[in-house]
Structure 1
Amino acid sequence: MAALHTLDAATLATLYRRGELSPVEATRAVIERVEQLEPTLHATWGFDPDGALAAAAESEQRHRRGRPLSALDGVPAMLKENVGTRGWPKPLGCAAVEAAPEAEDSPPAARLREAGCVFVARTTMPDYGMLSSGLSSLHAAARNPWNPALTPGGSSAGAGAGAAAGYGPLHVGTDIGGSIRLPAGWCGVVGFKPSLGRVPIVPPYAGRCAGPITRTVADAALLMAELSRPDARDATSLPPQAIAWDRLDDLDLRGLRLGLLLDAGWGLAPQPCHVEVVTAAARAFEAAGCIVEPLAPFTTPEMAEGIDLFWRMRSWLDLQALPPERRERVLPFIRDWAGRGAGYSAAQVFDGHAQMAALRDAAVAACARFDFVLSPVAPVPAFPALHASPTNDPARAMAHIGFTLPFNMSEQPAVAVPAGLTADGLPVGLQIAGRRHDDLGVLQLARAWERLRPPLPAGPPI
């Protein structure tokens, strides 16, 4: 048997059911892995080995009685720090936040607790989740298991690093502009941003989703089966729908129309290696019977700049609400980026907000003639761990999210799945986006890609 910390959730569920492995054994292996690597990776906060082992022991008894709560009962899991979890504070990766323990579970945490998952830790994030890196004023900078000198990405930084490093098979992140898919792409794992409203979340707002970060598409689907259960606390959530999340292999590739997007229309141009990896994936789908056609860029610089302006203003207002002494604890990059909002007029902010709808309409219209769209996840590989973004420039803080941001605004499901390596051995992700609400279809095509792609390393060399 492979090392226990490397086993996926589907395998653990099978072994538990057969009585060949105990949730306590699996949880202990994950705890040992965290203790081994955390001095390097800094991916967790709220590490709770005693609580995890107690929960695993309860799961073990349920399995012995033949009464597990779900297919995920006893499977180790971690939730991003901003996913409210009963009994734990939610400091949002920021030293300025004075948070009391949460009184109740947020919807994602509640679903996984009901399913019997074993909560081992929370995972780290940058200040307020406003960076695509693991740089934080509260935590040591999160590191990438493929090369600890580099970032895992963000804002689901610890989740991406933890999934890649063997911190259990199940991780939950959040995504408003790429915060699930970017760390998944840079860490060589699967990161799924569902359709807006598919996974209830509190608080909900434009583009914000919670979703799985896992090592396999099958595990992402297992997690979605629980996360997508209804919760009335999210007034924007989609109506409950019976989705056959276990039918991942039922997609016929023949005749599918795939758009190939290699130019985001703004921001950083994709490096040649990323273009090559995604183009090779497109050719593999074509050989399997898909029809692949180029998709012209549909995001304009005006859209991106307007959305950036709106988020700066929102963050500036959040910072202004803090007492001055606490405001100074916020990461300087965030203060610099948000501080530019001080001079914006009401008309500028209104126009910036309007660009969210403009991008939504443009993305949905551009994708309408395709079943799915293929693109890079990011235009560049993982960057230095102590940089806030690939440019490390507050004036160009969003220049790298040209391929991910549109599908938050358009409410379309999109997944990052490993597709290749750079010449330096760093992961390159393929993004697959689908039509609004076709979450299962996106995961089915991602599963098909796992079978089509050339062999990849099983994990980082750490």
Structure 2
Amino acid sequence: MTALHDLPAHDLIAAYRQRTLSPVEVTQAVLAHIERWEPHIKATYLLRPEAALAQARASEARWLRGEPQGALDGVPSTIKENISTEGDPTPLGTAAVELVPAAADAPPAARMREAGAVIVAKTTMPDYGMLSSGLSTFHPLSRNPWDVSKGPGGSSAGGGAAAAAGYGPLHIGTDIGGSLRLPASWCGIFSLKPSLGRIPIDPPYTGRAAGPMTRTVADAALMMQVLSLPDARDSMSLPYQDIAWSQFNKGVERLRGLRIGLLLDAGCGLPVEPEVKAAVERAAQLMEAAGATIVPMAPFMTQAMLDGMDHFWRMRSHIDLQALPAARRDKVLPYIRAWADSAAGMSGTEVFNASHQFHLTRVATVKACSAFDYVISPVAPMPAFQAELPSPTNDPLHPLEHIGFTVPFNMSEQPAASVNCGYTSAGLPIGLQIAGPRFDDLGVLQVAHAFELIREPQRAWPQPPAA
């Protein structure tokens, strides 16, 4: 029998409707499971059991009246720390930020509450979300449930760890260069970085997206029904579309006849490790056997593109840090400070040329993908790395060498997902990235679900160490 904390959201909603389970007993089970895991992986911020149980009791009363509030009523969920929740401070992962209560829920949090979700906790992130790790000057170091010596990835670090560890079925993260897909890959879960603007977010920023982090495509599709609802606060949001998210399951037949590009070389950054390459090639073989045509792709990113985006982000962060009082600036993670301050001597021409790489990346990505229905690739060139490291290179002058596969789809505004496609010999998960045309978020979900149906058997989810 599946433990309550492992049940997917669809099953929970069905059980609530049939009155075979209550939101209270499910939330109690999730909280008990978090209590066992949390000392080892440190995935949460503002974990408040009594507040979660109060939400669960209110949900239970609604179900008993036959009046559920929304599509997620009573389902335990978490929200990334940088998505504001009313009355709570938003430290952005750093000890340098003043802890001021947020005036209102940001759009993703508002949608979850309106749908009746039980917000069990918020989840951790590194300083300013500028690392692909769980290293933070504000939060304890977050770790990977598959191997607690490894990091969960970032910047949606706690969300990835929480989903893999079974902190309920639904989690929200954010992504500007890979921050949903990287932890999804390294924690063996599913995540969708939607088309820019598909999920309203506040504050909006070029390339920045919120998205679901779940164990299954089905639960991510359920979240998309809620998260994609309109919110006027996002000036970059897409016009609302009533997309048939429930149609994510078109079966293996969805792959038949598709022309899928296979990208095994990002064209920049670190080389792909052999075990990662082999797992992605095996995924391509399975898709081909299901009727897709797999076509090898030449790399379209360049090191100049990656370096330009990196240097522009350095300057943005340098300006932000210089605006802080010295005492607060000194609290920022030294790695982040070294990275940002390296931009201090950049000229206006250098900053412009760096910023232009965002546009060149967008153009190159759209052009390269235009010959295909979908594109598959590794999410990252390596599996999860040591938890204490800020980045795989541990070098603030080469910090983004692992995002060559993910960042182009932020800049092109295309939807891209991570779905587990295998494991290393050491048992660490390996993520397959599936990217689709702009606005085809549902198609990416359908292809990812089809792959779920044909991939090799998945290993059992990790369990907390024995007390």
For this structure pair, what is the TM-score category when the shorter chain's length is used for normalisation?
over 0.9
- Counterpart Cα distance in 1 of 2:98 and 2:131: 20
**Aligned AA (1:184):** A
Match status 1:301 vs 2:297? no
Where does residue 430 of structure 1 map in the other structure?
A: 432
Does residue 2 of the first structure (1) align with residue 9 of the second (2)?
A: no
Residue matched to 2:270? 268
| Equivalence for 1:392 | 394
1:33, distance to aligned residue in structure 2 (A): 1.3
The answer to whether 1:90 aligns with 2:90 is yes
Q: Which residue of 2 aligns with 1:292?
A: 294
Match of 1:335 in 2: 337
Query: Separation in 2 of the partners of 1:284 and 1:122?
Result: 37
Take 1:32 and 1:456, find their aligned partners in 2: how far apart are those partners?
Answer: 25
* Structure 2 match to 1:314: 316
Which amino acid is 2:39 matched to? P
In structure 2, the partner of 1:47 is 47
Q: Deviations over 1:296-350 (max 9, x none)?
A: 1000111111100000000001100110011110001100111101011111111
Q: How many percent identity over aligned positions?
A: 60
Once structures 1 and 2 are overlaid, which stretch shifts more, 436-445 or 30-39?
A: 30-39
Equivalent residue, structure 2, for 1:229: 229
C-alpha contact 2:79 2:122 (8 A) present in aligned 1 = yes
Letter in 1 for 2:327: E
Partner of 1:207: 207
Change (3 A) 1:55 1:461: closer
- Could you say which residue in structure 1 is the equivalent of 2:366? 364
Distance between the aligned counterparts of 1:248 and 1:201, measured in 2? 23
**2:440 is aligned with what amino acid?**
D
Q: Deviations over 1:69-128 (max 9, x none)?
A: 222100011000000001111000100100211111000000000000001111000000
SS in 2 for 1:334: helix
Q: For residue 177 of structure 1, what is the aligned residue in structure 2? A: 177
Q: Tell me, in whole angstroms, the C-alpha distance in 2 between the residues paired with 1:25 and 1:87.
A: 27
Kindly report which structure 2 residues correspond to 1:51-90, keeping only aligned pairs within 5 A, or say none. 51-90=51-90
In 2, Cα distance between equivalents of 1:228 and 1:352: 32
| 1:102 counterpart letter in structure 2 | A
Q: How does 1:103-114 map to 2 (within 5 A)?
A: 103-114=103-114
Secondary structure class of the residue paired with 1:341 = coil
Report the Cα offset of residue 248 of structure 1.
1.3
Secondary structure of the residue aligned to 2:120 is strand
In the alignment, residue 218 of structure 2 is paired with which amino acid? A
Q: Which amino acid aligns with 2:125?
A: M
Report the Cα distance in structure 2 between the residues aligned to 1:121 and 1:260, rounded to whole angstroms: 38
CA distance in structure 2 between the partners assigned to 1:171 and 1:248 by the alignment: 19
Structure 1 CA distance for aligned equivalents of residues 425 and 350 of structure 2: 43
For the 8 Å contact 2:308–2:353, the answer to whether it is kept is: yes
Q: Deviation per CA, 1:338-365, whole angstroms, max 9, x where unpaired?
A: 1101011111111111110110010001
Question: Match for residue 134 of structure 2?
Answer: 134
RMSD: 0.8
Amino acid at match of 2:180: I
- Partners of 2:294 and 2:383 lie apart in 1 by 25
Q: Tell me how far apart the structure 1 counterparts of residues 325 and 254 of structure 2 sit (CA, whole Å).
A: 57
Distance between the aligned counterparts of 1:187 and 1:359, measured in 2?
28
Q: Which amino acid aligns with 1:199?
A: I
CA positional deviation for 1:38: 1.1
2:91–2:98 contact (8 Å) kept in structure 1:
yes
1:448 aligned residue: 450
Query: What is the TM-score with the length of structure 2 in the denominator?
Result: 0.98
Opposite residue 308 of structure 1, the aligned amino acid is D
Q: What amino acid is aligned across from residue 424 of structure 1 in structure 2?
A: A
1:406 pairs, out of 393, 405, 408, with: 408
1:440-460 CA-partner distances (Å, limit 9, x unpaired): 000000000000001011312
**Contact 2:73/2:117 (8 A) holds in 1:** yes
Given residue 59 of structure 1, which amino acid in structure 2 is its aligned partner?
S
Q: Deviations over 1:195-224 (max 9, x none)?
A: 000000011111000000000000000001
What does residue 188 of structure 1 align with?
A: 188
Q: 1:13 is aligned with what amino acid?
A: I
Extract unaligned runs of 5+ from structure 1. Answer: none
Question: 8 Å contact 2:409–2:415 — kept in the other structure?
Answer: yes
| Distance (Å, rounded) in 2 between the aligned partners of 1:338 and 1:253 | 44
Return the letter of the residue paired with 2:236.
T
SS of the residue aligned with 1:370?
Answer: coil
In 2: Cα distance, 1:93 partner to 1:32 partner = 25
Amino acid at match of 1:276: A
Report Cα offsets for 1:411-461 as digits up to 9, x if no partner. Answer: 000000011000000000100000000000000000000000010113124
For these two proteins, the number of residue pairs brought into alignment is 462
For residue 382 of structure 2, what is the amino acid of its counterpart?
V
Q: Which residue of 2 aligns with 1:325?
A: 327
Whole-angstrom CA distance in 1 between matches of 2:49 and 2:14: 24
In structure 1, distance between residues paired with 2:29 and 2:71: 20
Deviations 1:43-80 (A, max 9, x none): 00101111110010000011111111222100011000
2:143 corresponds to 1:143: yes
Q: Name the CA distance, whole Å, in 2 between partners of 1:264 and 1:47.
A: 39
Question: Whole-Å Cα distance in 2 between the matches of residues 159 and 331 of structure 1?
Answer: 21
CA distance in 2, matches of 1:459, 1:453: 16
Deviation (angstroms), 1:191: 1.2
Displacement, 1:30? 1.0
- Alignment of structure 1 residues 118-133 onto 2, 5 Å: 118-133=118-133
- Equivalent residue letter for 1:108: P
